[in-house]
């Protein structure tokens, strides 16, 4: 991604400083410190509205994937827009509720739901439990019966569609841990149909993340519709089709399709089928909504030029942003503000202070840099803070939501002493 190619709602001031909506990165760091995650409210709302506009009057539900960015400040923005939510733990459900989200508009995915999580979700009035194994289906039926409730369920089917994405975020192939093989789903639906504690409400599938081609979405929808017809033949009626998420974003040189193309690919299959053209379509976007809205702003601490490699050592690290170390992800890094240090032009390794060679945020980045300069890692709104850790006893970064010319601190930087607040020193003897 060229340094001049910024996401929507990010711009440059006249002196070249990075600006998020109407607030400069320098002003944010002056107020909240560094490193800091910065999000544009307008970008979040724009992405959500692009999906809403693509559906038009067609019945649908947009269930934001909470795992992408679970800050309750972000969730509250989406709840006010009318979003549903896709969760993968009871903790995420509690976050949705704390943010003002509606459990009845929430789907609970994930391969390892505990009994307590199932009980909690049913007690909260969960909209749908996306079931990922026969064992889980039977557990839900038993727990719902004990609670004298009816559990709304759909089976997450695995359509064996190659999403052509990173193997760690591909979820729709037959050798992935997720879902139930689509050719094994029919007898489980038939069994569920006989259980008074279960209500079949839909079919769910999710084939992967960071997809830059809509054809896998179309292929998956076609396979889901074949199963829907087999269910209809047996008198099993559905109330929705959940076709997952996974639309990619641009990090460097990717060219993902617009939201309208994704929705059109799905609707070209579903709306053409008389069985389903009136069924609400649910989707589960996460990265598409949160990713481009966020950046990790970091300060250059030291420059370490060398004969073979030159290192720009920043105050953010792999504990703050895991994607480059975990996935080998190539994320755009841009200048965000100038410090007072002497400047040196070189091709830099952008690395953090953690004692790991894998602690890098970018390789071979040409910059003219000085100590004290600010850099911003773009596209960091999804799977950034939500995957952060305290490795090396490093407090996690602050999070700031920019709304026009106003900043809201939606998560304070962690005080150092909070990192061991739950720990105890055992007796000497």
Which position among 63, 128, 205, 355 bears the catalytic label? 355
Tell me the C-alpha distance between 130 and 179, whole Å. Answer: 9
Tell me the C-alpha distance between 376 and 383, whole Å. Answer: 16
Tell me the C-alpha distance between 367 and 333, whole Å. Answer: 10
DSSP 258: P
Q: Is 355 a catalytic residue?
A: yes
How wide is the angle at C-alpha 79 spanned by C-alphas 103 and 267, nearest 5°? 85
Residue 228: strand, helix, or coil: helix
Tell me the C-alpha distance between 103 and 123, whole Å. Answer: 10
User: Which is nearest to 137 in space by CA: 162, 111, 161, 160?
Assistant: 111
Cβ-contact 101, 94 below 8 angstroms: no
Whole-Å CA distances, 146 to 16, 40, 140, 154, 201:
63, 45, 10, 20, 21
> Could you give the residue numbers annotated as active site?
355
């Amino acid at each position: 991604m060229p340094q001049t190619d910024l996401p929507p709602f990010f711009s440059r001031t006249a002196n070249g400083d990075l600006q998020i909506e109407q607030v400069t990165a320098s002003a944010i760091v002056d107020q909240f410190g560094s490193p800091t995650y910065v999000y544009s409210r307008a970008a979040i709302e724009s992405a959500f509205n692009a999906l809403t506009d693509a559906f038009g009057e067609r019945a649908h539900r947009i269930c934001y994937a909470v795992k992408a960015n679970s800050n309750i400040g972000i969730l509250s923005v989406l709840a006010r827009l009318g979003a549903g939510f896709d969760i993968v733990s009871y903790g995420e459900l509690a976050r949705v509720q704390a943010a003002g989200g509606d459990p009845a508009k929430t789907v609970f995915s994930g391969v390892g739901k505990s009994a307590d999580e199932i009980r909690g979700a049913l007690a909260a009035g969960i909209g749908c439990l996306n079931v990922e194994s026969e064992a889980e289906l039977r557990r839900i039926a038993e727990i719902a019966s004990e609670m004298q409730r009816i559990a709304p369920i759909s089976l997450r089917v695995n359509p064996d569609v190659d999403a052509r994405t990173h193997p760690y975020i591909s979820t729709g192939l037959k050798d992935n841990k997720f879902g139930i093989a689509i050719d094994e789903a029919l007898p489980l639906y038939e069994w569920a149909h006989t259980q008074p504690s279960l209500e079949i409400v839909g079919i769910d599938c999710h084939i992967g993340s960071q997809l830059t081609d809509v054809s896998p979405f179309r292929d998956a929808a076609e396979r889901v519709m074949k199963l829907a017809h087999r269910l209809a033949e047996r008198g099993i009626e559905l109330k929705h089709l959940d076709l997952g998420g996974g639309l990619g974003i641009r990090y460097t040189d990717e060219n993902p399709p617009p939201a309208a193309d994704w929705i059109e690919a799905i609707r070209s299959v579903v709306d053409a089928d008389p069985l389903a053209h009136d069924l609400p379509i649910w989707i589960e976007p996460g990265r598409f909504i949160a990713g481009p809205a966020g950046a990790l702003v970091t300060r250059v601490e030291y420059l370490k030029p060398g004969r073979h490699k030159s290192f720009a050592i920043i105050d953010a690290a792999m504990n703050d942003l895991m994607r480059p170390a975990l996935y080998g992800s190539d994320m755009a890094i841009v200048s965000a503000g100038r410090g007072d240090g002497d400047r040196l032009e070189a091709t830099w390794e952008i690395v953090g202070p953690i004692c790991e060679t894998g602690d890098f945020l970018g390789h071979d980045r040409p910059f003219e840099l000085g100590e004290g300069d600010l850099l911003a890692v773009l596209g960091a709104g999804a799977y950034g803070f939500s995957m952060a850790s305290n490795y090396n006893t490093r407090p996690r970064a602050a999070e700031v939501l920019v709304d026009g010319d106003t900043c809201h601190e939606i998560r304070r930087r962690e005080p150092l002493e909070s990192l061991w607040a739950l720990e105890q020193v055992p007796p000497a003897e």
